[in-house]
Amino acid sequence: MGDRTRVILMDLLVERSQFGHGGNQEVIDPISNFGDVEVLLVTPQMQTEEVGFGAQNGGLVGLTLNDVPHWDHEFEFWEECNLEMNGNDVLFKRIAMPLEGDDAKMRGWLGELRPQAVVCSGSRRNVTMWEDWMDGGGSLIRCSAMMGIPTLGICFGHQLLCKALGSTVERADSLSNGVWDLELTEEGDADILFSSRRSGEKDCPAVLFTHQDHVITVPDSCSLLGSTIHNGVTAVRVRGEDGSNLPSWGVQFHPEAARARVERAFESGHISEEELEAFRKDHDGAGILQSFASVVNSNTGKSRA
């Protein structure tokens, strides 16, 4: 790995090029400001159990097309992809991950790979419609958060993190699309994640949503950082067993949904004209991702057991 920053990214929107691989680039872009990056992409929703066992026993195991029988070929499968971002080299590499949902084994796997960050993207799947692979996904994001690895759950990732930590997730009658002001709690107002530009009213961030599942209760191991008029548990931060803040967050909104990505998604037919109009308003996602990148850069990368 050398001096590269290693990020494990749960790539759950891979079939949508702009919100999948494009969204991943938006997440990684501010991290690449600090140097070269190695992004280990995991797609538990598409891989076989067999290659998952191989990863559990072998650590870093690359994925081939034979390992992903459920691949959605709307987006071409590739094993590796190199990009230059901010003058630095970023390697995206697909790997297998354990699917058993065994936290002890997952901590061992994370300890062997030693990532400096873990990110879980949004998804067209739903936590309220549980699938077997979500056991492994939930274990990954729960373990990384509690081990002190900088962790960010986005939309589905927020719901999966909160569910994995014991909260209730319910499905609303309709989809919520748009940009809302995030009303911060006192703790949220002081949190580093929201220390950047705030373009909403009353000095609060404006953030972009598209979701139907909602986190209903705050996990006992988390602090509530913010809510919106349509969503009560919008942003949380994970606490350790001693009550101290860990560098791990869940956010219901999409900070990676840059305007250019939204417009390209419309051109690709992935969102409707009505959705395009709902997403046109400026939001503060880029600053929030920059704040997370600064946490990743300042973290030693040493996991806490």
d(CA 136, CA 102): 8
Q: What are phi and psi of 55, to 5 degrees?
A: -65, -40
Which of 243, 241, 211, 237 is closest to 224 using CA atoms? Answer: 237
d(CA 284, CA 120): 19
Q: Count Cβ atoms below 10 Å from residue 3 Cβ, excluding itself.
A: 6
Torsion sign (Cα): 255, 258, 263, 265: negative
Token code pair at residue 166: 């014991």
283 in Cβ contact with 206 (< 8 Å): yes
Q: Count Cβ atoms below 10 Å from residue 17 Cβ, excluding itself.
A: 18
d(CA 240, CA 172): 31
Structure confidence at residue 264 (pLDDT): 65
Structure confidence at residue 1 (pLDDT): 45
47 in Cβ contact with 68 (< 8 Å): yes
Q: Which domains does the chain have, with CATH numbers?
A: 5-298 (3.40.50.880)
C-alpha 296 chain-centroid distance: 14
- Predicted TM-score (pTM) of the model is 0.93
Q: Which residue has the tokens 């994925």?
A: 63
The CA–CA distances, whole Å, from 124 to 4, 32, 258 equal 31, 27, 18
Structure confidence at residue 184 (pLDDT): 97
Torsion sign (Cα): 280, 120, 175, 266: positive
Structure confidence at residue 55 (pLDDT): 96
Instruction: Tell the burial category of 288 from Cβ atoms under 10 Å away from its Cβ (0-12, 13-18, 19+).
Output: buried
Structure confidence at residue 17 (pLDDT): 57
Q: What string of pLDDT tens digits covers the 305 residues of the chain?
A: 458 999 999 999 887 655 678 889 999 999 999 999 999 999 999 999 999 999 999 999 999 999 999 887 777 899 999 999 999 999 999 999 999 999 999 999 999 999 999 999 999 999 999 999 999 999 999 999 999 999 999 999 999 999 999 999 999 999 999 999 999 999 999 999 999 878 887 889 999 999 999 999 999 999 999 999 999 999 999 999 999 999 999 999 999 986 766 666 666 666 667 676 666 778 899 999 999 999 999 985 433 33
